[in-house]
Amino acid sequence: MSSEFFPVPFEDLRARILADHLDGGRRNIDGVNVSSFPLNHPGGCFGYCFEKDGRKIVYASDNELEIQPRELFPDLRNTGPLRRMPGALLQSIRDADLLILDAQYDEKEYAAKLKWGHSCCFSATDLAIQAGAKNLALFHHDPECADRDVDKKVEMCRQRAARLGSALKICAAREGVELKF
């Protein structure tokens, strides 16, 4: 939480903050196995996996799933095959019960914001399908998007998953939503 990433000094926060670390990227906290894995974002970033009682939740914000050479992009008509994804990332999120994933842009928006550190919703859907996730919560919505724009992205991703033969359940992460597994 250095100033280059977080411009508010800790002494200005109204909380008692204790810095702690995941030993070697892993730690058990009150019976929950927590692990971290690197994400693709300028300046670096980490995703987190939480596992307990056979359930797995993965949180991966601030991650750009880059379009690989020879892949159909932008896929405005949703006709392309699954995009290739980094093997290490797939392994980290494999079989998640819930994957909360950066999907800030649609295909057209992402074309104008390559290398900004955020993903398009079709790439997020493809990653979730390939990792065998059961539920995908699209996250890190563009602040310039209205709720109807986010709802449209969700519907486009649902159509993509169905076209690709996946039973993946997709929703938009929203403030105040509680899910039980």
Q: Has residue 104 been placed in a domain?
A: yes
Cα–Cα distance, 49 to 37 (Å, whole number) = 8
- Which pTM was predicted? 0.91
User: Domains in the chain: how many in total?
Assistant: 1
CATH number at residue 97: 3.60.15.10
Query: pLDDT tens for residues 47-103?
Result: 999 999 999 999 999 999 999 999 999 999 999 999 999 999 999 999 999 999 999
Q: Has residue 18 been placed in a domain?
A: no
Q: Has residue 100 been placed in a domain?
A: yes
Show the domain range for 129.
Answer: 25-172
Neighbouring CB atoms inside 10 A of 173's CB total 19
Region 146-162 average pLDDT: 97
Q: What burial letters (b/e) apply to 23-45, b meaning 16+ CB within 10 Å? A: eeeeeeeeeeebbbbebbbeeeb
Query: pLDDT tens for residues 87-142?
Result: 999 999 999 999 999 999 999 999 999 999 999 999 999 999 999 999 999 999 98
pLDDT at 5 over 70: no
